[in-house]
A and B are shown apart, each in its own frame.
Chain A
Amino acid sequence: MLHSSIRLVATLAVGTILGAGLAHGPAMAEMTRSLNINGTTGIIDMPSGDAQNDAAFTFSVAHVGPMTRSTISFQFSERLSASFRFNTWREWNELFPLDDAKQFDRSIDLRYQILQESQYLPALTIGLIDLAGQGLTSSEYVAATKTFGDRLKVTAGLGWGRLGTQGSIGQPFGPRPPLSSDDYGIPHTDQWFRGDAAPFAGVEFKLNDRWTFKGEYSSDAYLLEDDERGLIDVRSPFNFGFEYQKGPNARYGIYSMYGSEVGLVFHLVLDPKNRATGGVMGAAPVAVDARPSRAADPEAYDGGWVTQPDAGPLLTKNLAKRLAVDGIAIEDFAYTATTVQVRIRNNRIDAGAQAIGRTARALSHVMPASVEVFEIVPVVNGVGVSKVTIRRSDLEELEFAADNAALLRDRVTFSDAGPVPGNALGDDGLYPKFRWSLKPALRMLEPLKGDIGGRLSASYDLAPGLVLSGSIYGRLLGNTDDATGPSSSVLPHVRSDGGLYATNGDLALERLTMAWFSRPGENLYGRVTVGYLERMHAGVSGELLWKPVESRLALGVELNYSKQRNTDGMFGFDEYDYDIVTGHLSAYYDFGDGYLGQLDVGRYLAGDVGATLSIDRVFVNGWRVGAFATITDVSAADFGEGGFDKGIRFSVPLNWALGNQSKNAFGATLRPSGGDGGARLDVDGRLYDSIREYHTGSFDPEWGRVWR
């Protein structure tokens, strides 16, 4: 029951996505690039040489007898894809009554398409399954797939590891060394493509646009499940069954498997590149207000109005009214007879470029004709993060021009926000201000595992850049395994007692901090956060970031001192006597096309020293999918089951599904195993991600929305 509740919430956003997707389901002409029960590109249980469409994000759940597999896969580029899988075996104690009734395993796959299908050549893919886990499902393969006509696909491949256990043809690359528990969590490089190899094959036949028949010869003998554990009875290597495609997003499969089991699978296929609604919804902007020509009305261009004492308050009031329609607030406002600078807080619009465009349009209505230069400064956490300078005459000239976005982009300048002008009038009722919210919250630890509860958040904006904030999380229900005691980690338990924190603090203070954001100099951003920084640690965290507005590169340094908090979620520190200084040097690089890289080198929470490398793919609409790995001087044995810290993370903006304008997102970080090595403070408001939205790396791909 708890299980289903979690699933319900997890699939909620998705249900709506499908609903919206119904509105325009294009007929599928070419054959589906289908998925197997392992949630990766393939036939039924076997992989194929195909790849999913670039950026496809898929979620699969499969049941085969006493086995359940839930998988998230992401086609990271046209050729490379990664999967995160959660396997459950029920009746695990069938033959060994003293064992646990259930066995769980988390694993990561990688696959790379070496050859894309062409007229005469098949698609060829090389893949690693469970490449760094406990080895329960570890295998490697090479698979080739060729399409014949528009209905038939044939796959043949060779597998090692589990995929080499049925009908082996020998050991082409020598014997497969066994995996010791010390190897858990580390890539099993010395096992790859070693040991028995066995061929597998399959066909996919498209019956019509909705139904597909699939059949395969499996090279997996299910030795673990059949011979060792007696969970299933493999009678035949042949699997076959049917798949039903429902709309562009959902696919169902039912199969006869291994001569003794029925397999059921559900796939949800999402396309992060494209909005379900076909484009961002939301009302049209107001038209640009055209000034009379200078020749026709020279008096309108007289700058004498600046001397009127009530001009400032009046303009602010009119502008605020217009901007409020789009959820934009005025952080500051300054003007001369020819230039206006407005500093804005964008509360709602998900694309910075659109917020800039809407602000410029509003200024064209409010500012007297003599004001020719619009400087728009987006403000995040009270500090300006860039300055977009638009000439009003360009705005007027290009409003209805063909290709107006590119033309305007050429004429706009981006620069450092700079200090608040000396003649600024101040904010429009933003400081001091108390805000609060009570929202349901979902914490997902892995596919189909997590808890739901409520989060009460409050913040008090004292002055620009100075904010006191806190949140309390109350758990309502969940299916995370309740921990009975502290972890057995030999490192300081900076993360591994997460279960205790979850159980002992059903209602817990997550954060209570005072944060100060500043601009210490041109291209420099600063943050100091003091207090209960996160659920497990409290202390001081300081950060300095260098990031020119138009630069692909950013550099940062972070220094923290923290003490470990009690598990009960209250204010004390006596449960753990642990404090530490941690810090990192970070380099961020925007490779273009939405690929972001980050390298952090420094000291982690358990006192270990090392580096974290992360790669994220971000989409214009806000989708974000990434992977990270941390290697430190902690030995794999000391780290525990995972060997080293690694995982994938994703964030889905709700507006991608709904098409509306809002900044809410749904996301999670998934790790195959948790350990204490390579852990960092989970402090709010890290600088790079907060400012990137308003720098050219983010503005440029979405610039078309400036006229939206």
Chain B
Amino acid sequence: MGPGVALKIFRRLTASALVLALLAGCGSEKQEGSPLGQAVGAVAKTAVGAIAARRAARSGTAPAAPAQVTRADLEAYDMPILRAVIAARGADAFVTITDQKGSVVTWSTTDGTTFTLRDGVLIQTRGLGPDLMSAKAPVVQQLLTNGGTHQRVYYFLGADDRSTTRTYDCTVAVVGSETIQVMGKSHATTHVTETCARAQGSITNEFWIEGKMIRKSRQLASGGAGFIDFERIVD
């Protein structure tokens, strides 16, 4: 009876989530109680998202892009727009600038996830769960130097809520000139890879640099969130 009952219960994730919401109870402090309910919703969404992503992976089709938005629609906002795709999450979002300090720009989704890039190089994320809290990262000039080496250090806040440091030795390789399409517009870029190694393994970030500007990139956010594909759609 024990395992049987338990099995049924575990299958009924949604039901338990619902009861959990009830468990939050009621009272005068609405503001304090509500996040539990929101979180239940968030968990449900995450689970659904993950399932959709898995199905997509199995069937070989990519997760659907956000509803048919055209470049004209985005340009109509008359503000810089970046696209961020997190494959591991099945997430795809157009993000806008919420803070700019010199070369450091923070982009935000509507639901409060932020990506902070220094000249297009990712240095922080917030709201992903496993977040990149800070980073020692190269500048664009370094990424354009074929064979150049540098140290890269990631500071993550992971599942254990503690800061984790990962130090890599990286080498830049200029792959060559490539003309890429970013949402229907072509850009002449230099394709660059940054291969970063440490004893436990290596990762590769990729950049497509147009002049001095990173037009498109694929950069590691954290162990839990994986890589993020960025495309600068509207300047």
Q: Which of the candidate stretches A129-137, A373-381, A430-438 sits at the interface with the other chain?
A: A430-438
B161 at the interface (CB under 8 A from A): yes
B12 at the interface (CB under 8 A from A): yes
Contact between B36 and A660, CB atoms less than 8 A apart = yes
Which residue of B10, B101, B162 is within 8 Å of A701 (Cβ)?
Answer: B162
Which residue of A14, A22, A660 is within 8 Å of B35 (Cβ)?
Answer: A660
B126 at the interface (CB under 8 A from A): yes
Q: Which of the candidate stretches A94-102, A273-281, A560-568 sits at the interface with the other chain?
A: A273-281
Contact between A15 and B43, CB atoms less than 8 A apart = no
Interface residues of B in 72-110 (CB under 8 A from A): 88, 98-99, 101, 104, 106, 108
A658 at the interface (CB under 8 A from B): yes
Contact between B128 and A279, CB atoms less than 8 A apart = yes
Interface residues of B in 139-157 (CB under 8 A from A): 153, 155, 157
State the majority secondary structure of interface residues on B.
mixed
Q: Which of the candidate stretches A73-81, A144-152, A399-407, A639-647 sits at the interface with the other chain?
A: A399-407
Q: Interface 1/0s, chain B 16-55, versus A by CB < 8 A?
A: 1101101111111101110110111011101101110000
User: What A residues does B160 contact at CB under 8 A?
Assistant: 273-275, 619-621
Contact between B28 and A400, CB atoms less than 8 A apart = no
Contact between A7 and B116, CB atoms less than 8 A apart = no
User: What A residues does B6 contact at CB under 8 A?
Assistant: 7, 11, 61, 266, 268
A351 at the interface (CB under 8 A from B): yes
Contact between A436 and B3, CB atoms less than 8 A apart = no
Which residue of B3, B23, B155 is within 8 Å of A440 (Cβ)?
Answer: B23
State the majority secondary structure of interface residues on A.
mixed
Q: Interface 1/0s, chain B 107-125, versus A by CB < 8 A?
A: 0100111101010000110
Known A18-B10, A283-B111, A704-B133; contact A437-B39, beta-carbon cutoff 8 A: no
Which residue of B7, B88, B111, B161 is within 8 Å of A702 (Cβ)?
Answer: B161
User: What B residues does A401 contact at CB under 8 A?
Assistant: 134
User: What A residues does B46 contact at CB under 8 A?
Assistant: 20, 23, 277
B64 at the interface (CB under 8 A from A): no
Closest 5 CB pairs of A and B: A437-B27, A283-B112, A439-B25, A660-B39, A284-B126
Contact between B36 and A18, CB atoms less than 8 A apart = no
Contact between A285 and B126, CB atoms less than 8 A apart = yes
* Residue ID in chain B nearest A402 by CB atoms: B136
B67 at the interface (CB under 8 A from A): no
A75 CB to nearest B CB, Å: 15
B69 at the interface (CB under 8 A from A): no
For the complex with contacts A15-B16, A250-B10, A277-B159, 17 further pairs of A-B residues with Cβ separation under 8 Å are A16-B17, A19-B13, A19-B47, A20-B47, A266-B3, A266-B7, A275-B129, A275-B160, A279-B129, A283-B126, A400-B134, A402-B137, A619-B160, A621-B161, A659-B129, A660-B38, A708-B157
User: What B residues does A266 contact at CB under 8 A?
Assistant: 2-3, 6-7
B158 at the interface (CB under 8 A from A): yes
A700 CB to nearest B CB, Å: 10
- List A residues at the B interface (Cβ < 8 Å): 4, 7-8, 11-16, 18-20, 22-24, 61-63, 68, 70, 250, 252, 264-266, 268, 273-275, 277-287, 290, 324, 327, 347-348, 351, 399-406, 434-440, 457, 619-621, 654-655, 658-662, 664, 701-705, 707-708
Contact between B3 and A61, CB atoms less than 8 A apart = yes
Contact sample, A vs B, 23 pairs, CB 8 Å cutoff? A4-B5, A12-B16, A16-B16, A19-B16, A22-B47, A23-B46, A274-B160, A277-B129, A277-B159, A278-B159, A284-B108, A287-B106, A290-B101, A327-B31, A348-B32, A400-B118, A403-B165, A405-B163, A436-B27, A438-B25, A439-B23, A654-B20, A658-B43
User: What B residues does A283 contact at CB under 8 A?
Assistant: 111-113, 126-127
* Residue ID in chain A nearest B14 by CB atoms: A19
Q: In the bound complex, what is the Cα–Cα distance between A264 and B104 (angstroms)? A: 58
B9 at the interface (CB under 8 A from A): yes
Interface residues of B in 194-226 (CB under 8 A from A): 222, 224-225
User: What A residues does B135 contact at CB under 8 A?
Assistant: 402
Known A20-B43, A348-B35, A658-B43; contact A8-B101, beta-carbon cutoff 8 A: no
Q: In the bound complex, what is the Cα–Cα distance between A18 and B12 (angstroms)? A: 11
Q: In the bound complex, what is the Cα–Cα distance between A277 and B141 (angstroms)? A: 37
Known A23-B46, A662-B35; contact A705-B27, beta-carbon cutoff 8 A: no
Q: In the bound complex, what is the Cα–Cα distance between A286 and B114 (angstroms)? A: 10
User: What A residues does B161 contact at CB under 8 A?
Assistant: 275, 279-280, 351, 619-621, 702, 704-705
Contact between B28 and A436, CB atoms less than 8 A apart = yes
B130 CB to nearest A CB, Å: 4
